[in-house]
Structure 1
Amino acid sequence: MTAPRALKQDFPIMTTQTAQLSVGTQALFDRLPVGTYAVEVQPDGRLLFHYVSDRWLQMCGLARDALMADPGLALDVIHPDDRDAMLQANLVALETQQPFHWEGRLQVQERDTWVAISSNPRRLEENRTLWEGVMIDISAYKKLESDLRDSQASLQRLLEHLPIATSVVELGGEGRVLFSNAQFHRTFGYTPEEVPTVEAWFALAYPDPGHRAAVRALWYAAQQKAMAGPGQIEPMEFKIACKDGTVRDVVVSATIDEGVMIVSFQDITQQKRTQAELRLSEHKFRTLVEDAYAVIYTLNLEGEFQYLSPNLFTLLGYAPEELSGLHFANIVHPDDMAHCKAFMQRVYASNTRQGNLEYRVRHRNGEWHWHVTNASPLHDVDGQLIGMIGNAHDISERKARETRMSRQATYDELTGLLNRAAFFERLDQLASVTQAENPPSIGLMFIDLDNFKQINDTHGHAAGDRVLQILAARLQSALRSSDLCGRIGGDEFLSLLYGVSDADTATRIAVQVLQQLVEPITLGELSLLPSCSIGIALSSRHGREISELVRHADEAMYRVKQSGRNGVCLAE
């Protein structure tokens, strides 16, 4: 009891005196569910209790005799943390003679009890004041209030961490904004002080008066409908002005419950922008696909066409719907099917882009066109592989050009025979074969046209060229399909006789060739009798080195010329 004594130094000492109340009045007070009391402030500053009810004593945990003996016990039951505030409120009420109101805790038997005390001053004779008051146990109310605060705090914490802008608005009155979460302020930029009410929000979010009036009417109509019905305001889309001057597309919805409205603001600005960009991208894609000089296509996992761009008709003569659903084998050259299938499997297996597949595809008119394709894997919205998308270009002109260039690099342009470089390249390839354990025998004929310069000089180069073409064709027809023939100079030819090992066979073939070559040639009114000198060398007699065979055949051919031309000679 010592701590309260220290406090009494600044508070009048209280004494207890039984007030002269009627028996009926005292019985009435004792039956009240609240504690009642009457206390007088005496001229010397001491307090004199005129009356305390049994309920008051019960709430304070005091016996009447103990209180009468030591009125300071009334201070002892005030919670230490609340005692100073109570004393201060008492002094203010005493000085101002205004009603005294206080809420705080009593600490009785180590148990806290929340009470509310209210008393009013009544003037007595001789400048005395009597304070008549009640003390009510408000512990249940305080617990409910605490639970409500905890519930509100939990709700606020939940709303605070929502990834969507949210506000809690009081219904009725001026529509106070009770709370807005951090996402609300991040989205729109306004501080809580700038948005104290719904009307303040309307003024900021919809600066144009006409537009603001339309939005207000729409929103309040939806709010009234929700309050009369399901308690839900269905999502509505608005354009909302932000503090930084930007305008955001927002879907607003709300839930109404127990006098408040929880409003959600879903920012769909990026979604709308993405949708707009997607529409633009789709438009550009359609324009690109329709205008590009290529076929855009998609295949499913089985290799069946799912989509073909409209310019398929321009490139291949088919309408897209004619091939849709068909396997690509229906138009791809049979000889190219294997590497087309392998290409498709590489796309699916690697799940990456593959390119530069060249293949032949059939035009509607039956012609084969060369195409090159690049393709990438195609996935559905869940990331599952469903096929591939590719583009195909017609490269027929390029392939024809490459064929011409390849032929020019390999064949003599005038005669169509192998040129010198290509012929000797074939001989080198054959030489590698002759290094085998049982190499094939070969014969080599060196053919030179006799007096060919005179034909050019006398009848012109055009006639000479025509003679070369005719003799080249005769030479080609006189040889077997396994033999090679090439033009190695202006009027010089080499022929490779594959599998020939004996002199009689080689000589017989050479004589047959000579007989065909020297047949008369008619060029319009011009008739010519060609003459040829042929030298022969055999790997079985002259060695397997190509250079040696050519040298021996060349020497044999010159011996024919020295002997009068137009004949055949086997190298010595």
Structure 2
Amino acid sequence: MGLSGKGLTIQSQPICFTWRFEAEWPVLSVTKNIDQFGYTAASFQSKLHLFTDIIHPDDRERIAAESRAFLTANTESFQQDYSIITHSGEIRDVCVYSGVLKPGDHTVLYSIVHDKTLQRQAEVTLVKSEQQFRTAIETTSEGFLIVDNNFNITFANHALCQLTGYELRELKAHSVLDYINSEFKHIFTPALNRQGVQQYWREDLIIRHKNGLSLNVRLTATAMNDGTGFFAFISNITDHKKTEVQLQKLSRAVEHSASSIMITDKHGIIEYINPRFCEVTGYSESEAIGQTPSIISTKETPPACHEELWSTILAGKNWHGETFNRTKHGAYYWSLMSISPVMDDRGEISHFISVSEDITTQKDQQIKIEKIALYDPLTGLANRRLLYDRLNQSTEILHRQKDAGIGVIMLDLDHFKTINDTYGHDIGDELLKEVSHRLINCVRSEDTVSRLGGDEFTILLQDVSAPAAVQLIAQKILKSLRRGINIEQYNFHITCSIGISIAPLHAYESKVLLKYADLALYKAKNCGRNNFQFFDTSLDVTLSDT
């Protein structure tokens, strides 16, 4: 016989026996299956004088009283549930169906006993499982509901009530459709009921709170096995949707930004570039991603700049500065760049974001302005202002560090006025340009060659270790200018007069050094020109001259 309940089916073999209802209730016979309790039919009848001996002591009085009451009431059959003791002492739950027989003057009961132990255990397990499930549903932070095939709410947990603002009795009085914004109601159609067992779907919806506000939610639903409806989890994604909208706005802003935007991982590998980056650099997205920013770097950027950049951003700080870059096709351009580190949840750097603007036009204008302000428009040499700035910086450093000295060479061309008056200013200008080139070739890149006006030039020499070093430069200049200079159809052989002062040998102050070099220059002219002279104290100079 099969016993079923709440999805459980337990198979048991019934035990049939008869027993006489007298004061002692002796067992008359056992028909079958007594071996389920560890007995044989013979041993059961021989060893157990009374049927009540196998009934659990806790149930004996109740069973005896119920049996007498049934017989007194002349009931033809009745059912009893109790526990019995097997031959090995195990307790088993049974269901006993009994009928009354009256052969002669005796009353005999015919009983069928079903072992329900496994069913009882299964029922206890099921109840426990249901209790655990209900506890989980009621304690989860997600809303949960059950609806029938007409989408009427039959159950909702506490979280859903809190989410919607409604009490359970209010929710159960309505259909799901009553709480959903109209543009989403088309999802809930009768077709959902015909999509098969275990049908699963997920939708993002907008529902109305009891106070009238709209909530963005995510519904995850599954059809019940028996086809009677659906159960669903409801997650509040309102904040997520707001964040998503903000991210979409940010994404559109980045995509359409007038600035070049590049995102790298913590190792400097490019993971994202926006369209403006592609436009400025000439690199496509596929060409740039996976590379490093070195694809646009140039050797003209000083190593110290790169070191300062990386030390700043690796320390978790923002870096701002100008960089000189190169496009895919080799064109150079200037960028005003900001690089910011991005931290993860552990406070560690995960990415870097670079935002840069192409400032090539502005930079070119700035360079032109600086050139006008700091350089001689004819020769391109430093002008008086730039010379004075560099000379002041050098003397200040010399005051602090007491390192190798500096040299000041002041020169002008011998009889240049005669050339200018004879051949004209255009020829004179070309001659000055050639002289400028030859002077630059006589010194190092760290030295400064300047034109103060007319045919007057001043040279600032860095790291001068001794007067002999300056003397070599002066001799080189004299030799270089003696070589013939061809301007149009004319050939010129020119000379110059040179005056020299040295710091700290002669003085520390800029103005004094220039004055001393000028006095030495006049001495060179007085000595017949085409020579150089060092300043010495024999020259007529006083402190008031400075």
**Aligned Cα RMSD in Å?**
5.9
Partner of 1:5: none
Secondary structure at 1:551's aligned position in 2?
helix
Give unpaired runs (5+ residues) of structure 1: 1-27, 37-147, 227-231
Change (3 A) 1:409 1:35: farther
Give the letter for the 1:162 counterpart.
T
Percent same amino acid at aligned positions? 21
Change (3 A) 1:236 1:509: closer
Structure 2: distance between partners of 1:30 and 1:563? 153
Normalized against structure 1, the TM-score is what?
0.52
Secondary structure at 1:32's aligned position in 2?
helix
Change (3 A) 1:554 1:371: closer
Contact 1:164 1:264 in 2 (8 A): no
Please show how residues 99-248 of structure 1 align to structure 2 within 5 Å: 159-167=137-145, 180-197=156-173, 200-201=174-175, 204-205=178-179, 215=188, 217-218=190-191, 234-235=200-201, 237=203, 240=207, 242-245=209-212
Give the letter for the 1:509 counterpart.
Q
Deviations 1:362-391 (A, max 9, x none): 433334444454344467899986543434
Change (3 A) 1:254 1:382: farther
Deviations 1:45-94 (A, max 9, x none): xxxxxxxxxxxxxxxxxxxxxxxxxxxxxxxxxxxxxxxxxxxxxxxxxx
Normalized against structure 2, the TM-score is what?
0.54
Are 1:305 and 2:281 counterparts? Answer: no
Structure 2: distance between partners of 1:195 and 1:541? 99
Give unpaired runs (5+ residues) of structure 2: 1-64, 74-125, 539-546
Structure 2: distance between partners of 1:495 and 1:211? 83
Q: Which has the higher helix share?
A: 1
Give the letter for the 2:412 counterpart.
I
Instruction: Give the C-alpha shift of residue 314 in structure 1.
Output: 3.1
Alignment partner for residue 32 of structure 1, among 66, 69, 72?
A: 69
Are 1:319 and 2:293 counterparts? Answer: no
Alignment partner for residue 458 of structure 2, among 469, 494, 497?
A: 494
Contact 1:506 1:536 in 2 (8 A): no
Give the letter for the 1:186 counterpart.
Q
Instruction: Give the C-alpha shift of residue 448 in structure 1.
Output: 6.6
Contact 2:438 2:481 in 1 (8 A): no
Partner of 1:422: 386
Partner of 2:478: 512
Structure 2: distance between partners of 1:332 and 1:504? 39
| Largest Rg, 1 or 2 | 1
Please show how residues 461-540 of structure 1 align to structure 2 within 5 Å: 465-466=429-430, 468-473=432-437, 475-476=439-440, 485-495=449-459, 501=467, 509=475, 512=478, 516=482, 522=487, 535=499
Change (3 A) 1:522 1:167: closer
Instruction: Give the C-alpha shift of residue 251 in structure 1.
Output: 1.8
Change (3 A) 1:542 1:521: farther
Contact 2:326 2:332 in 1 (8 A): yes
Deviations 1:430-484 (A, max 9, x none): 545489889558574443765849957x987666645543444455556687875
Partner of 1:75: none
Are 1:554 and 2:518 counterparts? Answer: yes
Structure 2: distance between partners of 1:516 and 1:281? 71
> Size of the alignment, in residue pairs?
415
Partner of 2:61: none
Partner of 1:110: none
Give the letter for the 2:264 counterpart.
L
Give the letter for the 1:273 counterpart.
K
Instruction: Give the C-alpha shift of residue 266 in structure 1.
Output: 0.5
Instruction: Give the C-alpha shift of residue 327 in structure 1.
Output: 4.3
Contact 1:298 1:389 in 2 (8 A): yes
Instruction: Give the C-alpha shift of residue 316 in structure 1.
Output: 2.8
Partner of 1:284: 252
Structure 2: distance between partners of 1:382 and 1:437? 49
Contact 2:264 2:353 in 1 (8 A): yes
Change (3 A) 1:326 1:252: closer
Contact 1:500 1:506 in 2 (8 A): no
Contact 2:271 2:290 in 1 (8 A): yes
Are 1:270 and 2:246 counterparts? Answer: no
